[in-house]
Amino acid sequence: GDSVTQMEGPVTLSEEAFLTINCTYTATGYPSLFWYVQYPGEGLQLLLKATKADDKGSNKGFEATYRKETTSFHLEKGSVQVSDSAVYFCALTGSSNTGKLIFGQGTTLQVKP
Amino acid sequence: DTAVSQTPKYLVTQMGNDKSIKCEQNLGHDTMYWYKQDSKKFLKIMFSYNNKELIINETVPNRFSPKSPDKAHLNLHINSLELGDSAVYFCASSRTGVTEAFFGQGTRLTVV
């Protein structure tokens, strides 16, 4: 079945460091891919998305490119801030076309001043 | 204006009790979902309704019963609560044919 694998966390970075969180997926068909962010004590917010191969999603300085050849959707940011500390989830729409999201296990990012 | 709102935000209850969580969305979406986030933060879908019709029913104990009185509301009723039901429950909504979903703030259920 469809699945998403994210790099293990926690990831601890200093402010202004470069961030990469790896995400790979297994899916039949052509899923849409997402990054959601969960700040402490809050719900999930959509960070960015890509709906087809080679699409790049971007928002708030974060970027991810839909790579079909490597089945990856890695999240990057050039310079992280303390306020970026959160849990990041990679997700895809399942092949059943029901809108169901399949999530990776989440990666906790902690940014220190 | 909150797009997807859940009540209550926190719920502490004893084993064996019955409880409900309510969800409302004002986005005009026609599909609503319940997801469960366990203690390791793993998220998994439980149910999905489209225009009040059950679309997805994952392997969930039948003590969990969703109810959708209209397409803007999706409630979750849980009977005979068990310790293992302790989790954060998220409601979400989306529009048919549009891939992104909007999530509520979550309900942290603690069964003691």
pLDDT in tens, A59-96: 999 999 999 999 999 999 999 999 999 999 999 987 67
pLDDT of residue A77: 98
* DSSP 8-state assignment for residue B97: T
Interior/surface letters B17-40, b for 16+ CB within 10 angstroms, e for the rest: eebebbbbbeeebbbbbbbbbeee
Q: What angle do CA B67, B18, B61 make, to 5 degrees?
A: 65
Residues of B at the A interface (Cβ-Cβ below 8 Å)? 4, 31, 33, 35, 40-45, 48, 50, 55-56, 90, 92, 94, 96, 99-106
pLDDT of residue B56: 85
Contact B5, B102 (CB under 8 A): no
Regarding beta strands B107-111 and A62-65, do their DSSP bridges make them parallel or antiparallel, or are they unpaired? unpaired
CB atoms within 10 A of CB B61: 12
The C-alpha atoms of residue B111 and residue B97 are separated, in whole angstroms, by 37
Beta bridge partners of B94: B31
A66 Cβ under 8 Å from any chain B Cβ: no
Of chain A, the percentage scoring pLDDT greater than 90 comes to 81
pLDDT of residue A30: 84
Q: Nearest residue on chain B to A107, judged by CA atoms?
A: B41
The C-alpha atoms of residue B108 and residue B37 are separated, in whole angstroms, by 9
Contact B103, A45 (CB under 8 A): yes
The SS3 assignment for A91 reads: strand
Higher-confidence residue of B51 and B112: namely B112
pLDDT above 90: residue A11: yes
Task: Dump pLDDT digits (tens) for B36-88.
Answer: 999 999 999 999 998 888 888 887 899 999 999 999 999 999 999 999 999 99
CA distance B73 to chain A (A): 17
Of chain B, the percentage scoring pLDDT greater than 90 comes to 81
pLDDT of residue A99: 84
Contact A70, A85 (CB under 8 A): no
Contact B47, B58 (CB under 8 A): yes
